[in-house]
Amino acid sequence: MKIIHTSDWHLGQKLLYNDREEEHRLALDWLLQAIEQEQADGLIVAGDIFDIGNPPNYARSLYYQFLRKLLNTNCRHVVITGGNHDSPAMLNAPRELLQALNVHVVGAAGEYAAEEIVVWKDEAGRVEAIIAAVPFLRDRDLRYSVAGETGYDRVEQIRAGIKKHYDDRAAYISEHFDTSGVPVIATGHLYATGAGASGRQDNIYIGNTENIEARQFPELFDYVALGHIHRAQVVGGLDHVRYSGSLIPLSFSETKDEKTIYVLEWSGKMLDTIRSLPVPVFRRLKGISGNLEEVLESLSRFVQKDREGLEPWIEVSVELDRMVPELSTLLQDALEANGGGASILKIQARYPQRQELAQQNAPDLDSLEAEEVFKMKCEQYGSPPDQMDELLATFRELQSWMTEQKV
């Protein structure tokens, strides 16, 4: 049996107010192609199908189109679990309809263990795999508030609640099924101890980053398919506990990560191989940093390279010793002068001198005139002395205009 593990699609996500629709469409088309080429029997999606609880219509359309096209492949079984970004109600709305198509959706934790157990069977009715389809576990699924509890008590209750949730599912499977000859797989959407993230990840439970250790998952589980961390990786040195990572880079901090899906090949209960399939880069996200001269040179080199795919997006971090009027225009003009073909989404100007000045004792503003405060701010931002007269003239003109407006 061959199963594909993926997670964290985040359909409907915006990167600095820019839609990712085309990237997600290409990524899902590639995933369908991979499923066909691998002749995968099953697909597991471990949470965060959508980026927000009320995703835009195009994101919903991408999701349902993918599931419809999946019916034309060799994939006979699908398990989809909710993540912390997903709306359980929205995911579960078509649950009964999708279940008739062997697409099992678990948007939220069930009151009873049986509600999260999915059994995959072949055409003859023989069990092929047993899935503990555990979604993101919300606070209310794990604990009851206790008056006077400390933050430490709360964290320990959450950890204990997560472990008990998996222990209960494992106990139910052991009690009701013969697991000797079939894979038993669990899903999860959480932060496992030892996992490394490329950038800031949502802290699912306040005050508690690491929710469970890899060794705390019950031994019954032959594979644990995790979501939430966007970098594909093995957790805790246990080869069968893994994050598949996100399908596309979701921020500029993820540009160096290779995006993948996992292909699991089973012989009965034996997990023979775990292969990583790299997802193509459909749109290059590029971070460029340095002083102004270095940034302009890097922009020139970057846009002159031939590349396929969607228009690249660039984040610029430039170190300045003074304010540069219309910095964004300057950078955009440099981009266009070298052929364009890319968009700068974000420009961050950094002033090392500002940090030094901030460490100095702040003056008493009540004892200063407005012009003195203005001059200090100009100096803080690195404005050269030879521009001060012009800046002061502009400031006085603005002051005069504001006075007239009040009258």
Number of domains the chain contains: 2
Strand-pair category, 260-267 with 233-235: unpaired
Same domain, 102 and 85: yes
Same domain, 311 and 238: no
- Contact (CB, 8 A) for 77 and 102: yes
Query: Could you list the pLDDT tens digit for every one of the 407 residues in the chain?
Result: 999 999 999 999 999 899 999 999 999 999 999 999 999 999 999 999 999 999 999 999 999 999 999 999 999 999 999 999 999 999 999 999 999 999 999 999 988 999 999 999 999 999 999 999 999 998 888 865 555 566 667 778 888 999 999 999 999 999 999 999 999 999 999 998 877 766 655 555 544 566 889 999 999 999 999 999 999 999 999 999 999 999 999 999 998 889 999 999 999 999 999 999 999 999 999 999 999 999 999 999 998 887 788 999 999 999 988 888 889 999 999 888 888 889 999 999 888 766 555 555 556 666 677 887 888 777 766 666 767 877 887 888 787 777 766 54
Same domain, 187 and 265: yes
Could you tell me the residue range of the domain that residue 387 belongs to? 284-406
CB neighbours of 186 closer than 8 A, spacing ≥ 6? 131, 132, 134, 166, 169, 170, 217, 218, 221, 223, 224, 225
Q: Which of 226, 251, 278 is the last residue of a domain?
A: 278
Q: What distance in Å separates the CA atoms of residue 383 and residue 396, rounded to the nearest whole number?
A: 17
CB neighbours of 168 closer than 8 A, spacing ≥ 6? 113
Residue 318, phi then psi, degrees to nearest 5: -115, 135
Same domain, 257 and 350: no
Residue recorded with tokens 């999708």: 98
Same domain, 165 and 213: yes
Other CB atoms within 10 Å distance of the CB of residue 266: 21
Tokens of 369: 């005139």
Q: What distance in Å separates the CA atoms of residue 245 and residue 136, rounded to the nearest whole number?
A: 16
Same domain, 198 and 331: no
Same domain, 159 and 40: yes
pLDDT at 201: 55
CATH number for the domain harbouring residue 392 = 3.30.160.720
Q: Which of 218, 246, 278 is the last residue of a domain?
A: 278
Same domain, 336 and 272: no
pLDDT at 206: 47
Same domain, 318 and 178: no
Same domain, 79 and 141: yes
pLDDT at 407: 45
Same domain, 234 and 302: no
- Cα angle at 79 between 215 and 181, to 5 degrees? 60
Closest among 278, 351, 354 to 318, alpha carbons compared: 351
Q: Which of 278, 310, 332 is the last residue of a domain?
A: 278
Tally the residues of the chain.
407
Other CB atoms within 10 Å distance of the CB of residue 84: 18
Residue recorded with tokens 């003056």: 363
Same domain, 337 and 251: no
CATH number for the domain harbouring residue 186 = 3.60.21.10
